[in-house]
Chains A and B, each alone.
Chain A
């Protein structure tokens, strides 16, 4: 009788240890890693996981960070044939957010973005030139405050591949990029407060897209 009880306890202990070990190994499997499948395809930008943000010098002593809370668009990349690559981004200028409501109100006004007159910031690419395995130069036309200027974004691919459960509920094929460029705000007719706010603006666009066509 006692021998049976010891045997059951021993078996239970062994089972528990084995279960714990397999749970630990499952947890190990959830480690974050980059997906490096092919990014080829056409994508719809996922606004929930994308962001356009900028930094600009203030008063000669600091750097202010701002962002645009809304962003939409699409892109097509094909590493085998970059000639067909295309990016189209639209940002409602009124979605600017610098973490201070009064300043945002001023930025939406006639001194800066003048959002009633020029509601959207747009970027339409003209060509993409790969410069390495995961990056390249994206050339295109950027329109801010009603002024269109040619710009070149430095693009870095973050990753691409099938992702379970994203977008919800069943998952899909995603890819993501970070694009950066530097512009002069005066080139876009936004000269206000030249002595207080720097002319150079560093733009960053973090994009995550859901593949719509292979």
Chain B
């Protein structure tokens, strides 16, 4: 174990994809907590900023792209811009009273994000194939987004489901040809975990929609990359999606029953970890069948 830490390769993996994002998230949370003592209303935006800040800190180290160039050069270079711009769009839409704005903003953000992320593939395909691929991704993304964040309730339970999704992606990605995506998944999982723990510790704090929206955007973009660029199998992807849907479903049931304990927050995550384990097992079987590590 000590030998592993001696390796600069392993050390940079752990620092970039876990310790640094966690430290950034913690710093933002603690700083924001003290800065907002006189104005607790602002505390609700801590979690969104902490999740985005922590993930982007890890992203910059992992992708070695500190400049966030615009226009982005690669699909993965779009990730920070999609998270930031998408987060702002849905946050603005949430200020409108009519729920149509809420649904429309999320559907539009998912559709535009899917278009941007799939564009390099779509331009190589026939018009029909490209349109179907985009429609499928945009549709699934929108539906899952609205299922995970259906209204303005406290979104901690969605955070727990997204945490499981990020952990699953971090486990599945290296078995499906991308340690890079695994590192991004790990960074997202760590910042969600830190934000969840601190939100439990800070009495009366709640996750507003933008916090979970940022998580949905980042996780969605990583899943698109995992399927279309890393070539993860359809079976693995289906189980990953089932996992998120299961978490959303359980959270919705508990919400209708009026449960509000910590278990009500954690249960969706626990339930969604079951299909996630199936996805991991399937990816492992495929990996072992193709010869294992090298």
Contact = CB atoms under 8 A, between A and B. Distances in A.
Interface string B116-133: 000011001000000000
A132 interface: no
Contact of B230 (A109, A118, A146, A147): A109
Contacts of A117: 74-75, 120-121, 229
Contact of B64 (A102, A106, A119, A191): A191
Contact of B179 (A100, A108, A116, A193): A193
Q: Is the interface of A mostly helix, strand, loop or mixed?
A: loop
B291 A114 contact: no
Interface stretch (B7-15, B140-148, B195-203): B7-15
Interface in A119-158: 119, 146-147
A105 B124 contact: no
B95 interface: no
A109 B177 contact: yes
Given A105-B231, A110-B230, A196 B291 contact: no
Contacts of B177: 105-106, 108-109, 111
B294 A103 contact: yes
Contacts, number: 70
B242 interface: no
B98 interface: no
B52 interface: no
Given A117-B229, A195-B8, A110 B291 contact: no
Contacts of A100: 291, 294
Nearest to B287: A102
A149 to B, nearest CB: 13
Interface residues of B, number: 30
B218 interface: no
A146 B178 contact: no
A21 to B, nearest CB: 56
B8 A192 contact: no
Interface residues of A, number: 25
A109 B229 contact: yes
A109 to B, nearest CB: 4
A105 B7 contact: no
A102 B291 contact: yes
A110 B229 contact: yes
Given A114-B74, A117-B229, A195-B12, A106 B291 contact: no
Contacts of A37: none
A195 B9 contact: yes
B9 A196 contact: yes
A174 to B, nearest CB: 34
18 contacts: A100-B291, A101-B291, A102-B291, A103-B294, A105-B177, A105-B231, A108-B231, A109-B178, A109-B231, A110-B181, A118-B120, A146-B74, A147-B73, A192-B180, A193-B179, A194-B12, A195-B7, A195-B9
Nearest first, the 4 closest Cβ-Cβ pairs linking A and B are A195-B9, A109-B177, A117-B120, A111-B180
Given A109-B229, A110-B229, 8 more contacts: A102-B292, A105-B231, A109-B177, A111-B177, A114-B75, A116-B121, A117-B75, A147-B73
